[in-house]
Amino acid sequence: MIYVLFLVFIITTQSIPSTSASEVYDVTGNKVPNNVPYYIGPVIWAKGGGIKLTDTKNNNKVCPPYVMQDPAEVNIGGHFRFTLSAYNQKYLLTSYGLGIDSGSPNKSTCDNSTFWQIPNAEAKAPSNLIRTGGLFETAVSCFQVVDYPKPTSPKVHSYMLQHCPYFCGAGPMTCFNVSIYEEKGVRYLASSGITPFEFVFQKPK
């Protein structure tokens, strides 16, 4: 029992990765502030544009909305606030627990909480698709930004997202890569898939 507890302790302490945290940069090389609206989109705008919300899926209204890549390369998408669990940080950090806020809640009964969530990261679609409706610092809404391991371009800072429920509470001691999940030609963000979605931060004009 003591051995098991000790092991859990080691895993826990090693997994809270604040030592490797470093500041996040946007596509122009400026630091991304903590909790300020930014656009995110692919490094090469070929298969689509920026990330945004959609309130329709398979021609049905859905609520809360899903998070998807705009199909048009020219569209920058919606802006999102990346908010670290550590409130006092001026700049966004990699390898640190955070929530991703879609903005002010709409006056409807189902999307009054606006943080991205993955209801069940280990389940199949649509349960592993990212949608809003989560609350800050809860396991389902817990993510981290990680440097993209093999960036497309050495000239820009590109990142991937991981969903890490245990950073904010309960859940398996693992992080799930956030990838593109394509369904009927629509590119959703989800925890399915192995290849993480590589993206850059872009400051709103």
Ligand X SMILES: *[C@@H]1O[C@H](CO)[C@@H](O)[C@H](O)[C@H]1NC(C)=O
Give the footprint of ligand X on this chain (CB under 6 A): 53, 65, 78, 102-103, 106, 109, 111-114, 132, 135, 149, 177, 194, 196
Q: Residue 137 class from Cβ within 10 Å (0-12 exposed, 13-18 middle, 19+ buried)?
A: middle
Per-residue CA distances from 197 to 9, 40, 49 (Å): 31, 11, 13
Measured from the CB of residue 64, what is the shortest distance to ligand X in angstroms? 7
Measured from the CB of residue 3, what is the shortest distance to ligand X in angstroms? 27
Measured from the CB of residue 169, what is the shortest distance to ligand X in angstroms? 16
Measured from the CB of residue 196, what is the shortest distance to ligand X in angstroms? 5
Contact status, residue 100 vs residue 92, Cβ threshold 8 Å: no
Number of C-beta neighbours around residue 40 at 10 A: 27
Nearer to ligand X, 53 or 84 (CB): 53
Nearer to ligand X, 89 or 138 (CB): 138
Nearer to ligand X, 89 or 127 (CB): 127
Contact status, residue 92 vs residue 24, Cβ threshold 8 Å: yes
What's the gap between Cα 123 and its chain centre?
Answer: 17
Nearer to ligand X, 6 or 71 (CB): 71
DSSP state of 24: -
Can you tell me which residue has the tokens 């909480």? 113
Per-residue CA distances from 124 to 70, 114, 121, 185, 192 (Å): 22, 23, 8, 18, 7
Measured from the CB of residue 161, what is the shortest distance to ligand X in angstroms? 11
Q: Which residues pair with 65 in a beta bridge?
A: none
Nearer to ligand X, 53 or 98 (CB): 53
